[in-house]
Amino acid sequence: MAATLLPTLSPPVSRAAALLLLRRAPPLPFSLPAPLLRRLLSSTPSPPVRSPAFRFLATMPSAAAAAGGSRAMPDRADLLMLGIETSCDDTAAAVVRGDGVILSQVVSSQVVQKALNDANVSESDLCAVAVTVGPGLSLCLRVGVHKARKIAKEFRLPIVGVHHMEAHALVSRLVNKDLNFPFLALLISGGHNLLVLAHELGKYVQLGTTIDDAIGEAYDKSARWLGLDIRKGGGPALEQLALEGDPKAIKFSVPMRQHKDCNFSYAGLKTQVRLAIESRNIPADHISISSATEEDRQLRANIAASFQRVAVLHLEERCQRAVEWALKMEPSIKYFVVSGGVASNQYVRTHLNHIADKNGLQLVCPPPSLCTDNGVMIAWTGIEHFIAGRFDDPPAFDEPDDMQVMQQINMVS
Ligand code: KG4
Ligand code: ZN
């Protein structure tokens, strides 16, 4: 079993530790980001920090002490985290309390101000700002990091750099407060297909990943090729049409059956869908589904349903093996987390629930609004790391913004 132990990056508790971390961090897909702000390495002294919770944590001798030391932590309900998510086309922001209460959640433009207004809080009420630092489109990530740094600089707030996929996994702990480490997680989105064994906060073993495309990409392309209305996303459109089709109508082959591992492949299935459309002369490239004849619509629905059946069967087979691997490594595992945009699909949820049941595990699948990209997952992951003492100092006033931002993003992607 080719399990890779990914690096655990400790909190930037000292400049020396930060130097060590930056030297150690390899560019792996699911490693925690090294400290967001390289400013720790600069000699410029920090202006004083305003956040009361930060002042408290900053005086603690270590992260472990911050998480469980003899002095009482501030009440979780007193921690207010602003989360900013810009890894994709949309921007999302949210304010979440340390005890998991979502005070606001906003998507689209002017999100940050609206998230603060909706939560009825101002920047000076926050304990810190959390922001996605990767993986994602670097131009988009820069927008969020720039904004987060601006707020952090002005209001003297610490920053938590968040790994997008870790946030997809950890939001399940906001949803289910009994969900303790270790647990198994399947993270399925437009760009990633990951099976990870989460040992503890920041410590993950990757059991499987895609060798080509992620399942979300296969849903999106298939939906487009079938001529569906993809304004609200290809995945939801295909899921809808599949309800009208016969999932056994077309015999697509299940990927990677000869590979006895937990990796995924969706490029071949995508090609099978394209060939099925072409060989049946479906005019999907110039006639949209809304104008299709009844017979044509049925054909497209059959392709959609058959694709979905095999796409999810592939998930099921790899998850079954991953459960077996994970239970051998950590027999105490009780939960199977399924998250990421594709986890909002009802067919996916039902079938993975079956895998969890069969193996005596409990499925934790966040509600659809927390499965697709959102600010809440970033704020919540920010809270988890902040409580563990993992955050960066507020940026110094004289720090050059753009250069720093670029460096930080390259480090994690
Ligand atoms: O996590 P996410 O919101 O963004 C990324 O990090 O990529 O996932 C987006 C992906 C898209 O490919 C989208 O089509 C897919 O999740 N998705 C779905 C459904 N809702 C979103 N796929 C299948 N069925 C759905 N209901
Ligand atoms: Zn995502």
Q: In the chain, what is the straight-line distance between the N-terminal and C-terminal CA atoms, in Å?
A: 26
48 & 109 share domain? yes
Q: Based on the structure, what is the number of domains in the chain?
A: 2
274 occurs within a structural domain: yes
199: left (phi over 0), alpha (psi -120 to 50) or beta: alpha
Using CA positions, which residue lies closest to atom 21 of ligand 1?
341
82 occurs within a structural domain: yes
249 & 132 share domain? no
Task: Using a cut of 0.85, tell me whether the model's pTM lies above it.
Answer: no
Find the CATH number of the domain harbouring 116: 3.30.420.40
pLDDT value, residue 61: 37
Q: Which of 385, 8, 333, 353 minimizes the C-alpha distance to 197? A: 333
Q: Which ligand is nearest to the CA of 162?
A: 2
- Torsion on CA atoms 101, 388, 196, 216, rounded to nearest 10: 40
Structure tokens at 410: 């390259």
One-letter amino acid identity for 8? T
361 & 388 share domain? no
Contact indicator for 212, 363 with CB cutoff of 8 Å: no
Give the residue numbers spanning the domain of 146.
Answer: 4-171+371-412
140 & 269 share domain? no
176 occurs within a structural domain: no
343 occurs within a structural domain: yes
Q: Which ligand is nearest to the CA of 88?
A: 1
Ligand 1 centroid vs 231 CA: distance in angstroms? 13
pLDDT value, residue 111: 87
318 occurs within a structural domain: yes
Query: Could you give the 3-state DSSP secondary structure of residue 163?
Result: strand
Using CA positions, which residue lies closest to atom 8 of ligand 1?
341
349 & 381 share domain? no
272 & 222 share domain? yes
Ligand 1 centroid vs 91 CA: distance in angstroms? 15
> Among 189, 220, 273, 347, which residue has the most ligand 1 atoms within 8 Å of its CB, making it the best to mutate?
189
| Cα gap 54→17, rounded to integer Å | 19
pLDDT value, residue 400: 61
382 & 360 share domain? no
Using CA positions, which residue lies closest to atom 10 of ligand 1?
190
356 & 325 share domain? yes
| Angle subtended at Cα 252 by Cα 249 and Cα 255, rounded to the nearest 5 degrees | 150
DSSP character string of 338-353: EESGGGG-HHHHHHHH
| Angle subtended at Cα 344 by Cα 341 and Cα 349, rounded to the nearest 5 degrees | 125
Query: Could you give the 3-state DSSP secondary structure of residue 196?
Result: strand
Ligand 1 centroid vs 368 CA: distance in angstroms? 10
Q: Give burial (CB, 10 Å; 0-12/13-18/19+) of 192.
A: buried
227 occurs within a structural domain: yes
**Which segments in the chain show pLDDT lower than 70?**
1-73, 88-90, 109, 400-413
223 occurs within a structural domain: yes
342 occurs within a structural domain: yes
DSSP letter (8 states) at residue 74? P
146 & 228 share domain? no
Longest Cα pair distance anywhere in the chain, in angstroms? 71
pLDDT value, residue 89: 65
288 & 396 share domain? no
